[in-house]
Amino acid sequence: MVQRASGLDPAENRTALEELADHPGATDLVVLPEAFARDFGEAGSDLAPFAEPLEGPFTEALRRASRSSGAAWLAGMFEVAPDPARPLNTLVLAEDDRLTAYRKIHLYDSFGYRESDTISAGDLEPARVDVGGFPLGLMTCYDLRFPELARTLVEQGAEALVVPAAWVAGDRKVEHWRTLLRARAIENTVWVLGVGQPGPRYTGHSLVIAPDGDVLLEAGEDDAVLDTVIDRTAVADVRRTNPSLENRRL
């Protein structure tokens, strides 16, 4: 889990990605934040000039990182959309030659921002993917405030939710981030990994939450790398004690 800021120059961000790939350690998955291919810039900035096709320079850099490290790599980019003026906010998971894309469903029209002015919403297609035999559900930043998406991913078999973000800093924002990540873990009895861009513009505080809601790791506001091991046994153990998913009445 790499808590690192992206800049306004896509080429520099690809270089940063290559540098990270030179020292990945032994791992199955490397997660970078939302919009790692290019930062949002000032609120309301035109992002269309920085949109890439799914098979473009950034995803090729992710593929190279995956091939060189033997790990899957997950990061955010702006993808060319049917509306060329408003690209998609897309997470891309690269694992050797496999690409999985998740287009952010819930746009950040909140707290004085209007992401929908510059970004197109993705189709209502949750992204559940297996990495190293572990079923993961992908969410992006503001998606965290919508428990329906997390529950849908869990109903599709996800046992960990991975949430790359650029969670804008502000009053109560760290508390919201921590509380919502823990809530998604507790109510769904799954692992939750939240990976954010650092301060001062964003909140940082990348987190690893266990299926029982315990905070196992937490970064501060600055650049950080968190290493963790998650296992499916912990999910099964918590669900034996707290079978809340089975106890639902629909």
CATH number at residue 127: 3.60.110.10
| Count of beta carbons in the 10 Å neighbourhood of residue 15 | 12
Task: Note whether residue 145 is domain-resident.
Answer: yes
Q: How many CB atoms lie within 10 A of CB 232?
A: 14
Lowest mean pLDDT among 31-35, 96-100, 210-214: 96-100
Report the chain's mean pLDDT, rounded to a whole number: 96
- Asked whether the beta carbons of 80 and 104 are under 8 A apart, the reply is no
Q: How far apart are CA 64 and CA 26, in angstroms?
A: 16
Domain assignment present for residue 219? The answer is yes
pLDDT confidence bin for 229, thresholds 50/70/90: very high
* Half-sphere exposure at residue 184, Cβ-oriented, CA atoms within 13 angstroms: 34
**Residues whose CB falls within 8 Å of the CB of residue 119, separated by 6 or more in sequence, listed in order:** 47, 78, 86, 87, 88, 89, 104, 107
246 in a structural domain = no
Looking at residue 169, its pLDDT comes to: 97
The model's pLDDT over 9-28, given as tens digits with 9 standing for 90+, comes to 999 999 999 999 887 567 89
Domain annotation covers residue 88: yes
Q: Is the backbone peptide bond immediately before 82 cis, with ω within 30 degrees of 0? A: no
Residue 60 has pLDDT above 90, yes or no: yes
Q: Which residues are catalytic?
A: 34, 104, 141
- The domain of 112 spans 2-241
Residue 248 in any domain: the answer is no
Question: Does 233 fall in a domain?
Answer: yes
Give how many domains the chain has, as a whole number.
1
**What does the pLDDT read at residue 24?**
58
> Is 249 within the bounds of a domain?
no
Instruction: Look at residue 247 and tell me if it is in a domain.
Output: no
pLDDT at residue 115, rounded to an integer:
97
At residue 246 the predicted structure's pLDDT band, cuts being 50, 70 and 90, is very high
- Residue whose entry in the numeric block shows the structure tokens 């963790």: 228
79 contact partners, CB below 8 Å, separation of at least 6: 51, 52, 53, 54, 87, 88, 89, 90, 101, 103
pLDDT tens for each residue of 141-178 = 999 999 999 999 999 999 999 999 999 999 999 999 99
State the pLDDT at residue 22.
82
